[in-house]
Amino acid sequence: MLVLESTLLNSYTECNNFKFVIPKEQHRTQKTVVPRDELHAFVIRCMEKVGTKRDHASVLADLLVAADYRGHFSHGLNRLDMYVRDIESGMCVSDKEPEIAKETSATALVKGNNLLGPVVGRFCIDTAIRKAKTAGIGWVSANGSNHFGIAGWYAMRAMEQGLIGLAFTNTSPLMVPTRAKKATLGTNPIACAAAANNGDSFVLDMATTAVALGKLELSERKGLKIPLGWGCDSSGKATTSPSEATGLMPLGGTEECSGYKGYGLAMMVELFCGILAGADFGSNIRRWKTTDRIANVGQCYIAIDPSAFAPGFSDRLTELNNTLRRLEPAEGETEVLVAGDPEKKHMAKCDKLGGIPYHANQIKYA
């Protein structure tokens, strides 16, 4: 095992005893494989260095490792520096816990108390899970939160308890609405997870923009162009240059390709999050990666007990999944996938390699 000293930030050199495994066949492709436990320990050391409580740092590490393990590289190690800076600058704290401000048997309003987003999110989804087990549904909205990583992590936490899980969050204004030039809404992701039979599942985890900002950042870092419809320039027109993109396009891209639907979905998420929870919303949220004021992000978490409805839920979901996967692929394609299948393939790849494969530039950045 090759041991390298990796520097996240110049002031955090004590954090950086990061072990990498580089299989021989990957030298040509500049891939570095990092064992998941090493990545988890690295995140904890970096966060503790700037004063994060260990249990809060561990929750964040759980999420970041899960993101990269599932192949969502824009929200894993790629985002660690942001969480470090949020704690270091005092824009995010680690000396409190989330608390319930108002609740009924099936709902709750949670005060995030400006804690790390994953800490708030885990508290909220666990609250929703608890309520769903007694009331059939748990609906929790939160204010005073921060960036919470991949939405699917929370939805899957409910799925693992035999429930249908959903998670939403608003974010810093990065989306340029259809027919506009200025970024006004966030990427505002949606996640939904439900278990089928024999370990099968449906796990949807998507932004309401065409892609997350991290995908543009990674493309620029790798020196790649972006597909038309991912980002737009200062005039509001689609561009293939990540460096020229001043905003993200809604899911669908241009208006001709139904980008207005992604725009509408982003507003729906905002309704459930910032507006319902009394958090900041739209262009009121602080700009991305700025530390001039707290984020006050709004989030929503839902858990639904399928047993409160028609029996046989998992059987029908299994049947639907199998029907879709058995469809004849289009010309040039090899298979039809269900939401969550690409992530399963990536996790199987990681298991085979003994860790998570990173592009050399991602490691250099970290």
| Structural contact between residues 180 and 236, judged by C-beta atoms closer than 8 angstroms | yes
pLDDT of residue 29: 54
Question: Would you list the DSSP string of 278-300?
Answer: T---GGGSPPTT--SS---EEEE
* pLDDT recorded at residue 199: 96
Q: What is the dihedral of CA 81, 83, 85, 90, to 10 degrees?
A: -170
Task: Express each pLDDT in 249-260 by its tens digit.
Answer: 999 999 999 999
Residue 82 contacts residue 6 (beta carbons within 8 Å): no
pLDDT of residue 213: 83
Rounded CA separation 219/226 (Å)? 7
Can you give the pLDDT at residue 28? 46
pLDDT of residue 221: 85
Q: Sign of the CA dihedral 56, 57, 61, 63? A: positive
Angle between helices 54-69 and 152-159 (to 10 degrees): 90
What are the mean pLDDT values of the chain's consecutive 10-residue runs (366 residues total)?
A: 34 44 49 94 97 98 98 92 94 96 98 98 98 98 97 98 98 96 96 98 96 86 93 95 95 95 98 98 90 93 98 98 98 97 98 93 76
- 54-69 and 36-49 helices cross at what angle (nearest 10)? 140
Name the DSSP class of 271.
Answer: I
What's the CA gap between 18 and 40, in Å, rounded? 10
pLDDT score, position 154: 98
- ∠ Cα 155 158 161 (to 5°): 150
Predicted confidence at residue 243, as pLDDT, reads: 92
Q: What is the DSSP letter of 273?
A: I
- pTM equals 0.89
Q: What is the pLDDT of residue 93?
A: 96
pLDDT in tens, 147-193: 999 999 999 999 999 999 999 999 999 999 999 999 999 999 999 99
Distance of alpha carbon 259 from alpha carbon 270, whole angstroms:
17
61: number of Cβ within 10 Å: 23
